[in-house]
């Protein structure tokens, strides 16, 4: 259910853009002290959006599949763990958004971490419970571990460094596999972006200057480590219907840009940079796959 993260971020972005047409810098500037009207608006908006999304999923998605008694599953071996990276990414990004909007409201740092950064974990737990009552899926403790890891990555850095030195990012390229199984991997770009694990790459993007403490490196330059997979037509390795899958893991080394560290006095631009900072910036990349092959990409996205 990773698409929910993108929808929530997009909704927050659009609302900010529309309002920003008049006095946008003042509106987007975080409050120096607790702004109760902002805080209340954020709490109501988040609660309403999360509730409507969960209800919508239950009525529009899960209703198409048979219900069952609550059950758990062990799906740790599926899709070469690409779906688990998706859970980590979603939990991290939803938590980041939750903390940022509370910061905008002037809420204390402690409360940002307690009530904001746990937004992703709470929401994805509710979705996981819905999975548990679906005959098609089931409650996955491995998914829950991935959700917890995403939240922990955000909270841990705030507690340790008071900043996000290591970002979680995403990139996607279309593959030939979706055409072979459009029902499973997506029919068209909008579906493939969410469903085709073969085209997805998840990145740990580390800010070099934050770690090396040198002025010789631009403040916005990051070193990125990526993980992807290829050759998957089904989640299971030994699916009897797809015995000839050439499933490989892919590891990447590349550069990246932390858009949030680009200096600007415009709050509007800062907001745009913050929204699009979930996407890995295209750069040359070195790939090593699980077959031991090295491959150079002159540009990789």
Q: What is the pLDDT of residues 155-178, one digit of tens each?
A: 999 999 999 999 999 999 999 999
Output the pLDDT for position 136. Answer: 87
Output the pLDDT for position 16. Answer: 45
Contacts of 82 (CB under 8 A, 6+ apart): 197, 200, 202, 228, 229, 232
Residue 218 has pLDDT above 60, yes or no: yes
Going from the C-alpha of 85 to that of each of 150, 169, 177, 193, the distances in angstroms are 9, 11, 20, 15
Q: How many whole angstroms separate alpha carbon 198 and alpha carbon 173?
A: 9
Residue 183 has pLDDT above 50, yes or no: yes
User: What's the pLDDT tens digit per position in 11-69?
Assistant: 444 444 444 444 667 788 888 898 999 999 988 988 898 889 889 888 877 888 899 99
Output the pLDDT for position 12. Answer: 45
- Average pLDDT on 285-290 reads 97
Q: Does the predicted TM-score (pTM) go above 0.95?
A: no
In terms of Cβ atoms closer than 10 Å to its own Cβ (0-12, 13-18, 19+), residue 33 is exposed
Q: Which tokens in the block code for residue 4? A: 């929910």
Please give the mean pLDDT across all residues of the chain. 89
User: What's the pLDDT tens digit per position in 232-263?
Assistant: 999 988 888 887 788 999 999 999 999 999 99
Output the pLDDT for position 57. Answer: 85
Angle 148-220-254 from CA coordinates, rounded to 5°: 70
Contacts of 27 (CB under 8 A, 6+ apart): 16, 19, 20, 267
Output the pLDDT for position 65. Answer: 85
Output the pLDDT for position 8. Answer: 46
Output the pLDDT for position 239. Answer: 81
* Residues 255, 222 contacting (CB under 8 angstroms): yes
Output the pLDDT for position 46. Answer: 87
User: What's the pLDDT tens digit per position in 108-157?
Assistant: 999 999 999 999 999 999 999 999 999 989 999 999 999 999 999 999 99
């Amino acid at each position: 259910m990773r698409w929910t993260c993108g929808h929530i971020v997009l909704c927050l972005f659009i609302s900010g853009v529309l309002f920003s047409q008049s006095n946008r810098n003042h509106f987007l500037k975080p409050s120096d002290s607790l702004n109760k009207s902002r805080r209340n608006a954020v709490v109501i908006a988040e609660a309403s959006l999360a509730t409507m999304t969960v209800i919508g999923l239950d009525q529009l998605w899960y209703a198409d599949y048979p219900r069952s008694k609550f059950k758990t599953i062990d799906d740790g071996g599926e899709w070469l763990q690409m779906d688990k990276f998706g859970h980590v990414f979603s939990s991290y990004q939803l938590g980041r958004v939750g903390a940022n909007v509370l910061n905008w409201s002037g809420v204390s740092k402690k409360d940002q971490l307690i009530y904001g950064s746990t937004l992703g974990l709470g929401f994805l737990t509710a979705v996981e419970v819905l999975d548990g009552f679906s005959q098609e899926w089931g409650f996955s403790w491995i998914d829950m571990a991935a959700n917890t890891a995403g939240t922990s990555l955000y909270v841990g850095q705030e507690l340790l460094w008071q900043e996000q030195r290591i970002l979680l990012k995403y990139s996607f390229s279309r593959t030939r596999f979706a055409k072979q199984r459009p029902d499973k991997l997506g029919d068209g770009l909008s579906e493939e972006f969410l469903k085709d694990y073969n085209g997805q790459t998840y990145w740990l993007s580390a800010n070099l200057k934050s770690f090396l403490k040198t002025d010789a490196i631009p403040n916005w330059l990051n070193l990125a480590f990526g993980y992807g997979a290829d050759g998957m037509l089904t989640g299971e390795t030994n699916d009897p219907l797809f015995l000839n899958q050439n499933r490989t893991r892919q590891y990447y080394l590349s550069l990246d840009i932390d858009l949030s560290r680009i200096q600007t006095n415009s709050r509007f631009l800062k907001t745009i940079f913050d929204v699009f900072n979930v996407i890995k910036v295209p750069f040359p990349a070195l790939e090593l796959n699980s077959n031991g092959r090295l491959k150079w990409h002159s540009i990789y996205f």
